[in-house]
């Protein structure tokens, strides 16, 4: 009896003619995720099997695969020849020592001598007659033994389903550029968009030496968390120190964050285009802070020339975002207390509903293009 892991996909099967492409990307993503662990991945009509792995690695493999988008569910199964004696032995070894159970059989191999009802009845009956602590309950069993008779002469027997991450394989929906801060929201936003099949690269703005190296390390750690779901990511790091100094020196301090946001969006768009990213992604949530009122978003959005901006968290409350942040393993990193560039030179009273006209008036006091070029030349790239 060989142990295998059954991988069932979620939305991939909906993609009609593109199915082959989706499956290829999906298999490559699983391969990258399992890198370093002994295994083989085989496709079997409508599912994948992970085979030939070290049994000691089973939990690690399941843990890693739980981050692969496109997986609907997984089961650790015993693979045997489609022979009633072997199927029975496998069923016995996944069967609990006591309790109410039922056997559920799926028979893809229509040439197999017994139909699914007969297989379930025979295997269930034998288990029952050999162990008096078992009972059968087909309506509300405590556990179910699944028997899956495949077309290729093998049968899979298992008793558990693990939930997959759902979504679509990363890479099947193009690429986006995530504006990642050290906060709670942006990694969650990146994760949500990656779940829809998008590759995510990251861009981070810092104000070193006003912000410190720990703040930078924290962002690298957050991008690493994200990269576990995206099979790798490229982090672009840009200094906005001089931009902030110039705003501080020349403009009404109430506009610090509003103006800085416009610079960030411009830089992010330019870098996104050079990287082949087709959209920007931010962690903005409507009304959460002053810069995220609809007026604030209008102001930062109006500098964007070509790309759409995705704001997947717009309708989320903070506690919903925190819950997701915990689920993806980012929260403990996000709450480390290092300053973001937006908190440097923070005005006592940031403008809450800036009119575009007033923003433009303040911005005219700066040499925007020169500051942009200078910031772009500070670009540093880290591949994760």
Q: Which two tokens stand for residue 81?
A: 């020849």
User: Is residue 181 close enough to count as binding Mg ion by CB under 5 A?
Assistant: yes
User: Is residue 205 close enough to count as binding ligand ATP by CB under 6 A?
Assistant: yes
Beta bridge partners of 145: 103
**Quick one: which of 80, 226, 342, 351 contacts ligand ATP (CB under 6 A)?**
342
Q: 180 phi and psi, to 5 degrees? A: -110, 125
User: Is residue 180 close enough to count as binding ligand ATP by CB under 6 A?
Assistant: yes
Residue 143 burial (CB count, 10 A): 15
User: Is residue 251 close enough to count as binding ligand ATP by CB under 6 A?
Assistant: no
Contact of residue 186 among ligand ATP, Mg ion, none (CB under 5-8 Å per partner type): ligand ATP
CA distance 187 to 321: 10
**Quick one: which of 30, 243, 277, 341 contacts ligand ATP (CB under 6 A)?**
341
**Quick one: which of 289, 356, 360, 381 contacts ligand ATP (CB under 6 A)?**
289
Q: Which of 76, 184 has the CB closer to ligand ATP?
A: 184
For residue 373, the minimal CB distance to ligand ATP (Å) is 19
User: Is residue 183 close enough to count as binding Mg ion by CB under 5 A?
Assistant: yes
**Quick one: which of 155, 230, 291, 299 contacts ligand ATP (CB under 6 A)?**
291
Contact of residue 23 among ligand ATP, Mg ion, none (CB under 5-8 Å per partner type): none
Instruction: Give 48-63 as a 3 state SS string.
Output: EEEECCCHHHHHHHHH
User: Is residue 269 close enough to count as binding ligand ATP by CB under 6 A?
Assistant: no
- What residues have CB less than 8 Å from 343, skipping those under 6 apart? none
User: Is residue 184 close enough to count as binding ligand ATP by CB under 6 A?
Assistant: yes
Helices 356-363 and 294-301 pack at an angle, to 10 degrees, of: 50
Q: Establish how many alpha carbons lie within 13 A of residue 104's alpha carbon, considering only the half-sphere containing its beta carbon.
A: 13
Contact of residue 241 among ligand ATP, Mg ion, none (CB under 5-8 Å per partner type): none
Site for Mg ion in 323-382 (CB under 5 A): 340
The separation between the first and the last C-alpha atoms of the chain, rounded to the nearest angstrom, is 39
CA distance 354 to 310: 22
Contact of residue 284 among Mg ion, ligand ATP, none (CB under 5-8 Å per partner type): ligand ATP
Q: Which of 154, 282 has the CB closer to ligand ATP?
A: 282
- C-alpha distances in angstroms, 123 versus 50, 77, 333? 26, 17, 50
Q: Which of 124, 187 has the CB closer to Mg ion?
A: 187
- C-alpha distances in angstroms, 347 versus 5, 185, 290, 293? 55, 22, 11, 17
User: Is residue 201 close enough to count as binding ligand ATP by CB under 6 A?
Assistant: no
For residue 183, the minimal CB distance to Mg ion (Å) is 4
* Helix, strand or coil, per DSSP, at residue 83: coil
Cα–Cα nearest to 143, from 100, 173, 109: 100
Residue entry with tokens 């509903």? 353
User: Is residue 186 close enough to count as binding ligand ATP by CB under 6 A?
Assistant: yes
User: Is residue 124 close enough to count as binding Mg ion by CB under 5 A?
Assistant: no
Site for ligand ATP in 18-37 (CB under 6 A): none
Count of chain residues binding ligand ATP (CB under 6 A) = 20
From 103-111, 119-127, 335-343, 359-367, give the range in contact with ligand ATP by CB under 6 A.
Answer: 335-343
- What residues have CB less than 8 Å from 220, skipping those under 6 apart? 235, 382, 384
Beta bridge partners of 73: 8, 163
Q: Which of 29, 334 has the CB closer to Mg ion?
A: 334
Residue 364 burial (CB count, 10 A): 10
* Residues of the shown chain interacting with ligand ATP in the complex, contacts defined by CB under 6 A: 179-181, 183-186, 204-205, 264, 282-284, 288-289, 291-292, 340-342
Binding site for Mg ion (CB under 5 A): 181, 183, 340
């Amino acid at each position: 009896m060989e142990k295998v892991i059954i991988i069932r996909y979620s939305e991939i099967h909906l993609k009609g003619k593109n199915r082959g492409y989706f499956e290829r990307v999906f298999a490559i993503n699983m391969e990258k995720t399992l890198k370093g662990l002994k295994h083989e991945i085989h496709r079997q009509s409508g599912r994948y099997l992970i085979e030939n792995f070290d049994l000691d690695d089973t939990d690690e493999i399941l843990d890693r695969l739980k981050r692969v988008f496109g997986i609907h569910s997984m089961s650790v199964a015993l693979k045997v020849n489609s022979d009633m004696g072997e199927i029975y032995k496998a069923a016995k070894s996944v069967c609990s020592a006591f309790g109410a159970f039922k056997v559920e059989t799926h028979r893809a191999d229509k040439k197999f001598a017994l139909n699914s009802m007969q297989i379930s009845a025979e295997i269930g009956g034998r288990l029952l007659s050999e162990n008096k602590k078992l009972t059968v309950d087909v309506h509300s069993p405590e556990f179910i033994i699944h028997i899956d008779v495949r077309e290729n002469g093998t049968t899979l027997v298992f008793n558990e389903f693990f939930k997959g991450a759902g979504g679509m394989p990363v890479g099947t929906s193009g690429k986006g550029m995530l504006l990642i801060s050290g906060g709670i929201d942006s990694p969650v936003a990146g994760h949500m968009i990656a779940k829809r099949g998008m590759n995510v690269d990251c861009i981070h703005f810092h104000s070193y030496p006003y912000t410190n190296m720990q703040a930078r390390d924290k962002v690298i750690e957050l991008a690493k968390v994200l990269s576990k779901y995206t099979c790798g990511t490229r982090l672009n790091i840009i200094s906005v120190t001089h931009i902030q100094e110039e705003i501080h020196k020349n403009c009404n301090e109430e506009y610090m964050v509003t103006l800085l946001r416009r610079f960030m969006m411009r830089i992010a768009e330019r870098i996104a285009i050079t990287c082949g990213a087709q959209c920007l992604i931010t962690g903005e949530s409507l009304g959460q802070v002053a810069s995220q009122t609809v007026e604030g978003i209008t102001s930062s959005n109006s500098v964007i020339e070509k790309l759409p901006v995705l704001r997947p968290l717009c309708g989320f409350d903070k506690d919903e975002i925190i819950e997701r942040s915990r689920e993806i393993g980012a929260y403990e990193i996000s709450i480390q207390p290092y300053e973001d560039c937006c908190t440097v030179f923070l005005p006592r009273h940031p403008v809450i509903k800036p009119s575009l006209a007033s923003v433009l008036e303040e911005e005219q006091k700066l040499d925007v293009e020169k500051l942009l070029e200078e910031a772009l030349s500070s670009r540093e790239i880290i591949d994760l």
